[in-house]
Amino acid sequence: MVDADQTFVIVGGGLAGAKAAETLRAEGFTGRVILICDERDHPYERPPLSKGYLLGKEERDSVFVHEPAWYARHDIELHLGQTVAAIDRAARTVRFGEDGTVVRYDKLLLATGAEPRRLDVPGTDLAGVHHLRRLTHAERLRGVLSALGRDNGHLVIAGAGWIGLEVAAAAREYGAEVTVVEPEPTPLHGVLGPELGELFTELHREHGVRFHFGARLTEIIGQDGAVLAARTDDGEEHPAHSVLAAIGAAPRTALAEAAGLEMADRAHGGGIAVDERLRTSDPDIHAAGDVASFPHPLFGTRLRVEHWANALNGGPAAARAMLGRDVVYDRVPYFFSDQYDLGMEYSGWAPPGAYDEVVIRGDAGRREFIAFWVRQGRVLAGMNVNVWDVTDTVQRLIRTRAQVDTEALADPHVPLGSLVP
């Protein structure tokens, strides 16, 4: 029985951890809640780092999950700039890395997130090589993009995923020259496949972005500590004053691995393996957010989802499970992106090879449409582009797993809601 004598420890001060702490108090937990964050900033949301905040359209204070005074007001013991060096599962303790403080827990939540993958090429130690994951990264990159735009400078981006494309859009808005190097034939190939990836190629080319597909960076060339160019494995050399590594993120599992917790298969994205209640192989330890790999009943596989909505919903679900509530975490994956005048929302999971066809409803040429990834007449995923207030309906189509008439699905005159059984 949960009571005031218990201590719940949350390792990770991102959105998942902060929302878990909030939920524990909202659900009536009166024991100790300890939230350990390895950054010195209060918990914040990451989408603005590559969107509004990076563009200078949002203030710094707008990114924080709660105002600083909220934590003390709700009796959350917040430890900023602190790491956890080890978990002792037998003793049910965590040991801080800075001063060796040991804290006992009754329940432990690992919300350690992910970290940017690093370029393993010569020249990555140059001052002009950047990553984007943390607020401090975004603050630095804002200044870089502004200077590049002012001086007609060149930015080379390694990777045409969501971060790469959003930063490319921001850089062009600042006026910088941008080249994106991507080993796949289209942007977002692993998420959207070639059919919709080409849409983003055209969008960015219209705004002056240059793409170099089918290639990888092999060297960043510099002089006196400054970046001069970026070389690719096909012998091309691109002028560059700064380079952004946007080649994905890796789950931060070292702490969990050292504690002997079960890990998910790397083929499924790795991460800490959890059950439908977000419990790890140790029933007193849960995991949520980017680091957690959970079994999804809709898609029949494990998923590790690195998006805002998963942290927003996964943290509270884990908190309720820690309290003994009846929880099944089966949220449909969801994310959104803003690039130039294109806004989009994506729901579901349909990597290349998982679907038979892509059905378009609307006008793809005008970039006002909904795309559906379909297998055997069943909707696996949907992406609405500059079409709004349809996400709930798209997610209901995915959840029903019912076969739909693809001609009706493509016809904008047929109400989308009428296709939901």
Strands (E), 38-153: 76-80, 84-88, 93-96, 102-104, 107-110, 114-116, 129-130
Task: Quick: pLDDT tens for 4-31.
Answer: 899 999 999 999 999 999 999 999 999 9
pLDDT above 70 as % of the chain: 100
Task: Quick: pLDDT tens for 82-120.
Answer: 999 999 999 999 999 988 999 999 999 999 999 999 999
Task: Quick: pLDDT tens for 297-321.
Answer: 999 999 999 999 999 999 999 999 9
Average pLDDT of the segment spanning 184-199:
92
Instruction: With cut-offs at 50, 70 and 90, classify the pLDDT of residue 1.
Output: very low
CATH 2.160.20.10 fits 7-115+250-322, yes or no: no
171-195 burial: b if 16+ Cβ within 10 Å, else e = bbbbebbbbbbbbbebbbbebbbeb
Q: Where are the alpha helices (DSSP H) in 105-157?
A: 135-150
| Pairing verdict, β 154-158 and 242-245 | parallel
Using an 8 Å Cβ cutoff, are 335 and 346 in contact?
Answer: yes
What angle do the packed helices 308-322 and 15-26 form, to 10 degrees?
A: 40
- Check pLDDT > 80 for residue 330: yes
Name, in order, each residue with C-beta under 8 angstroms of 155's C-beta and a sequence gap of 6 or more: 144, 145, 148, 167, 168, 171, 176, 177, 178, 179, 240, 241, 242, 243, 244
The whole-number pLDDT of residue 268 equals 80
What CATH homologous superfamily does 341-419 map to? FAD/NAD-linked reductase, C-terminal dimerisation domain (3.30.390.30)
The whole-number pLDDT of residue 338 equals 95
Using an 8 Å Cβ cutoff, are 383 and 336 in contact?
Answer: no
> Can you give the residue ranges of every domain in the chain?
7-115+250-322, 129-247, 341-419
Cα–Cα distance, 233 to 237 (Å, whole number): 9
Please provide the average confidence, as pLDDT, over all residues in the chain: 96
Structure token pair of residue 322? 């820690």
CATH 3.50.50.60 fits 129-247, yes or no: yes
Cβ atoms within 10 Å, residue 208: 13
Owner of token pair 């959890």 = 274
Q: Do domains 129-247 and 341-419 have the same CATH topology?
A: no
Task: Quick: pLDDT tens for 43-55.
Answer: 999 999 999 999 9
Cα–Cα distance, 49 to 281 (Å, whole number): 34
- Check pLDDT > 70 for residue 2: no
Compute CA 256 distance to the chain's CA centroid, rounded to the nearest angstrom: 20
Average pLDDT of the segment spanning 240-255:
97
79-107 burial: b if 16+ Cβ within 10 Å, else e = bbebebeebeeeebebbbeeeeeebebbb
Phi-psi sector, 170: left (phi>0), alpha (psi -120 to 50), beta: alpha
pTM exceeding the 0.85 threshold for the entire prediction: yes
Average pLDDT of the segment spanning 23-44:
97
Distances (CA, A) of 187 to 12, 78, 117, 192, 378: 31, 39, 18, 8, 25
Distances (CA, A) of 141 to 56, 147, 244: 11, 10, 9
Structure token pair of residue 24? 């524990």
The whole-number pLDDT of residue 145 equals 98
Cβ atoms within 10 Å, residue 213: 16
Cα–Cα distance, 409 to 418 (Å, whole number): 10
The helix (H) or strand (E) run that includes residue 232 is: strand 226-232
- Check pLDDT > 80 for residue 354: yes
